[in-house]
Chains A and B, each alone.
Chain A
Amino acid sequence: MRKWLIYALLAILLYAFPWLIPSSYFVHMAQGFLYTYIVVVGLNLLVGLSGQLSLGHAGFYAIGAYTTALCTLANVPFLLSLVIGMAACALTGAFVAMLSLRAKGPYLAMVTIAFGLLIEIVANRWVDVTGGPAGLYLEEPSLFGFRLGVVEYYWFIAFITLVIAALVDNLFTSRIGRTFRAMGNSEVAAATVGVNVRNWKVLAFSLSALIAGVGGALFAFQNAYFNSDSFTFDKSILFLIGVIVGGAGTRLGPVIGTVIIFLLPQWVQSLYDYHLLIFGAILLFSLIVLPDGIVGGFGRLMGRRKQLTTAHSVVEDTAEEKSDDVRWAAERQETVLDVEHVVMEFDGYRAVDDVSLEMKGPEVRGLIGPNGSGKSTMVNLLTGVYVPTAGRIRWNGRDVTSFAPHQMAAVGITRTFQNLQLFGEMTVLQNVMVGFHLHYRTGFWANLFHTAAFHREERQFAAEALRLLAFVGMAEKAEETAANLSYGEQRLVEIARAMAVRPQLLILDEPAAGASHYEVEKITKVIRNLKDVGISIILVEHHMEIVMNVCDHITVLDFGKKIAEGRPEEIQNHPQVIEAYLGGEEVSKLVVGT
């Protein structure tokens, strides 16, 4: 309700602006502010939320401008041209994303820079079509036969801006936004709960490009003339400055950012000879003082405002929740994991060397071995993070050898991480809610428009997430930012998140590492409860008392080879295991003293 009040207020303000300040110069400026803001909002979705980088957004801006403009010149109605322009941008965005999928960091930056420059060159040189530096002259835009004058066009821009701002804000607070943020925080963790990272990256790029294209199109018709000088690399940088200085990933950041990149230059323009100097100094200063951006910085100062969630009432002491109430327990079935002669080689080094193991679920299997024995590699193989060099992995009779992590999650295998991979910027509850990724039924549109089904589903999964948090004893921390938790608490949240996938096989990679003594006890209890629920577990752990007490069977690895397998009591007295842990014969002699 409050949300709509704010939007209504904004709408009235935007509508009244030309009357409040009846000057065509200021109306013109307001137009510029709004379409720049649109682009920054779109870029914030990409950079701030999903953690990608684009130094070529001026390219999408240009494509939006040229496609829309050229369509109207070909006598296509303005509104339809705008839609065509948006579609063109979305498609190019998807294309650029697919080109840059494997590139990371500076390499990704380079792909986007190259894209931006390529568009700039085309705009400059393909004079027959784009007009190049001489520019394109357009007719005033018209809607259903009405010509839009300066003020009317301003209202049109304001309307579009408001719609885009509202929809993007909806995305931010929906599962789509959560998934984007999760992907930006930890790609691999997002993948292990079933997010197809590749598709989601393409979606993020595509959306962001589409929004930038709208900005470009609105810019093109502002003066009924534009030329290729507007689409430079500097422009791309400027958009990025708007995102970062405003506060990447925040909902209000783009407003402040646009003030900085649009209004500030207008103001210092009068000091022509010094304006770059002043702008640079302000930029540098704000980056140093407020590295999280202006909105982010203030947010920190004010103390993080607790987010209201729909499910607060459920928090009330559910900590005693019985494991039977955890819904996926009922869905379990007999499981068979069959690993056949699996080999993993890195540059000729065999981290896992011809290991076979069979697991008939539900069972808890311990996987132990000295450091460097290939346990973690084994976990990575079983969850699809690595694809084995040789050998086969079968799961319930199905060959899953070359499955990607999100496919593994889809067939019911997920994991926790030894080096914690929580989505640090998100709350504990949100972390677990991302875990339900595969179980959401509402689609993109429901999330975009916040339909009734969306609200229903959010409530349902928030409640379920709280139940899972109660199961691991973390319900009271549901609203805490995940990065602020202790090691042990983070491990518990990782378990809750993994359980949200409703797995049939849960792989716990050193769940007790780095936890305090008290936390180790808590984690042990949780693992026991998990066992009672009846899912299969592979437990990689160094704390022998946990392994020996919890596991049905234990597999021991050493130097990538399986050296022993059996019941805990057999393993404890296995000569080869003792040798692996204590060293060769000489060492044993030293230890024993003979």
Chain B
Amino acid sequence: MLQAVVSGLILGSIYAIIAQGYYITYITTRTLNFGQGDFLMVGALLGLTSLGAMTASGIHVYLAAVLTILLISAVMGVLGWGLERAAIRPLQHFLSIGWILSTVAVSIMLRNIAMLIWGRNVIPFPSPFGSDVYRIGEVGITRHELFVAISAVVIMACLFFFLNRSLLGKALAAVAFNRDAASLMGINPQRMAVLAFALSSALAGIGGILVGPITNTAFFMGATLGLKAFAAAIIGGLENPLGILIGGLLLGVIEQVFSLFNSAYKDASAIVLILIVLIFMPQGLLGKKVKEKF
């Protein structure tokens, strides 16, 4: 039981990282990447390849891991920039739901490309840190899980710092608060939208590297993970990063605990959780209820 809670927390922290990407783009552009899962998949596969190449060329594992994360963030950032230009900006002026489908369109193209490059089969993603298990009482934690936990804390800390303290983060928040006013203050909302999507995609990529060794990797891995991260964001409240963190952890723990009983319950439990939360709190757990003004 305790074991399930711990691994749930670790899995949940990955969901939360991916879901923060939804938060950033949603507040700045009122859109989000429905293909976030496939961006994650690209991150995972690229990460696998780059880690393999780096360790093969004799770079120390830890250094390779850090370098890979940086590299993948950069690559995914560029991909996010492309997504914003191709699938979000052209559709922004129309108060439609076209962006849902345009991001899906990009993601199925990515899926196809990944299949052509990496093949159709599941590729095992061995953790760079081996499979040693630390034991604390009854709970066992693999080195990779420890790595995930540490990375999650570091990434969350960086993200919160960036959003709340840095000038760029404040500019993002300003655009989120009032797009027109922000642009009058000399902030370019379009550039902020690009930044938001680049960041969001980078987070997905990092999520991919972290989750890869837990779930193994394949070109079709993205769909479920993307949806779960979306669920985490919705449970917590799309416009509240703290809520999203809580939503992710909650989802991870509930899934792992229910999977003790029956694997069918695992997925169903997550969905039932979402439905219950949304019935009683249609804005998510920590979402703010907005009174519309007329």
A residues contacting B by CB (< 8 A) are 47, 53, 55, 99-100, 102-104, 106-107, 109-111, 113-115, 117-118, 121-122, 125, 188, 233-234, 237, 240-241, 244-245, 248, 273-277, 279-281, 283-284, 287-288, 291-292, 346, 376, 379-380, 385-386, 417-419, 421, 509
0/1 string, B84-102, CB within 8 A of A gives 1: 0011001100101110111
Q: Please state if A106 and B108 are interface contacts (CB–CB under 8 Å).
A: no
Q: Please state if A346 and B291 are interface contacts (CB–CB under 8 Å).
A: yes
* The one of B113, B275, B284 that contacts A114, using a Cβ cutoff of 8 Å: B275
A-B contact pairs, 7 of them (CB 8 A): A100-B282, A107-B283, A111-B278, A245-B101, A274-B112, A277-B113, A288-B90
* The one of B112, B115, B230, B234 that contacts A280, using a Cβ cutoff of 8 Å: B112
* The one of A111, A284, A292 that contacts B105, using a Cβ cutoff of 8 Å: A284
On whether A240 and B101 interact (CB within 8 A), knowing A110-B231, A114-B271, A288-B90, the answer reads yes
Interface check B9, CB cutoff 8 A: no
Residues on the B chain within 8 Å of A386, using CB: 291
Interface check B2, CB cutoff 8 A: no
Q: Please state if A102 and B282 are interface contacts (CB–CB under 8 Å).
A: yes
Residues on the B chain within 8 Å of A115, using CB: 275
On whether A248 and B271 interact (CB within 8 A), knowing A237-B104, A284-B105, the answer reads no
The chain B residue with its CB closest to the CB of A99 is B279
Q: Secondary structure of the B side of the interface? A: helix
Interface check B135, CB cutoff 8 A: no
Interface residues of B in 54-95 (CB under 8 A from A): 86-87, 90-91, 94
Q: Please state if B278 and A103 are interface contacts (CB–CB under 8 Å).
A: yes
On whether A280 and B291 interact (CB within 8 A), knowing A106-B234, A291-B98, the answer reads no
Tell me, rounded to whole Å, the shortest Cβ–Cβ distance linking A497 to chain B.
15
On whether A276 and B111 interact (CB within 8 A), knowing A107-B284, A283-B105, A421-B294, the answer reads yes
Residues on the A chain within 8 Å of B113, using CB: 277
Q: Please state if B271 and A121 are interface contacts (CB–CB under 8 Å).
A: yes
On whether A100 and B278 interact (CB within 8 A), knowing A233-B227, A280-B105, A284-B105, the answer reads yes
The chain B residue with its CB closest to the CB of A119 is B271
A459 to B124, CA, bound (A): 69
Scoring B86, B234, B283 by chain A CB atoms within 10 A of each residue's CB, the highest score goes to: B234
0/1 string, B228-250, CB within 8 A of A gives 1: 00110010001000000000000
* The one of A102, A279, A280, A385 that contacts B294, using a Cβ cutoff of 8 Å: A385
Tell me, rounded to whole Å, the shortest Cβ–Cβ distance linking A249 to chain B.
10
Interface check B106, CB cutoff 8 A: yes
Interface residues in B, total, Cβ within 8 A:
46
A582 to B171, CA, bound (A): 36
A100 to B94, CA, bound (A): 25
Interface check B26, CB cutoff 8 A: yes
Residues on the A chain within 8 Å of B284, using CB: 107
On whether A277 and B101 interact (CB within 8 A), knowing A103-B282, A125-B264, the answer reads no
Residues on the A chain within 8 Å of B97, using CB: 47, 53, 244
A537 to B34, CA, bound (A): 48
0/1 string, B263-281, CB within 8 A of A gives 1: 0100110011011001100
* The one of B115, B278, B294 that contacts A380, using a Cβ cutoff of 8 Å: B294
Residues on the B chain within 8 Å of A385, using CB: 294
On whether A277 and B112 interact (CB within 8 A), knowing A53-B97, A110-B274, A291-B96, the answer reads yes
Q: Please state if B294 and A188 are interface contacts (CB–CB under 8 Å).
A: yes
The chain A residue with its CB closest to the CB of B96 is A291
A113 to B98, CA, bound (A): 17
Residues on the B chain within 8 Å of A53, using CB: 97
Tell me, rounded to whole Å, the shortest Cβ–Cβ distance linking B171 to chain A.
23
A376 to B234, CA, bound (A): 32
Residues on the B chain within 8 Å of A284, using CB: 86-87, 102, 105-106, 109
Scoring A188, A283, A418, A509 by chain B CB atoms within 10 A of each residue's CB, the highest score goes to: A283
On whether A288 and B278 interact (CB within 8 A), knowing A106-B234, A188-B294, the answer reads no
On whether A273 and B116 interact (CB within 8 A), knowing A248-B96, A284-B105, the answer reads yes
Interface check B292, CB cutoff 8 A: yes
Interface check B32, CB cutoff 8 A: yes
Interface residues of B in 21-71 (CB under 8 A from A): 26, 32
* The one of A110, A121, A234, A240 that contacts B268, using a Cβ cutoff of 8 Å: A121
Interface check B293, CB cutoff 8 A: yes
The chain B residue with its CB closest to the CB of A248 is B96
On whether A99 and B278 interact (CB within 8 A), knowing A117-B271, A248-B96, the answer reads yes
The 4 closest A-B CB pairs, nearest first, are A280-B109, A276-B112, A102-B282, A284-B105
Tell me, rounded to whole Å, the shortest Cβ–Cβ distance linking A95 to chain B.
11
A380 to B231, CA, bound (A): 34
Q: Please state if A110 and B105 are interface contacts (CB–CB under 8 Å).
A: no
Tell me, rounded to whole Å, the shortest Cβ–Cβ distance linking A289 to chain B.
9
Q: Please state if A417 and B294 are interface contacts (CB–CB under 8 Å).
A: yes
Q: Please state if A277 and B109 are interface contacts (CB–CB under 8 Å).
A: yes
On whether A110 and B91 interact (CB within 8 A), knowing A103-B278, A244-B101, the answer reads no
Interface check B194, CB cutoff 8 A: no
* The one of B94, B227, B283 that contacts A292, using a Cβ cutoff of 8 Å: B94
The chain A residue with its CB closest to the CB of B266 is A121
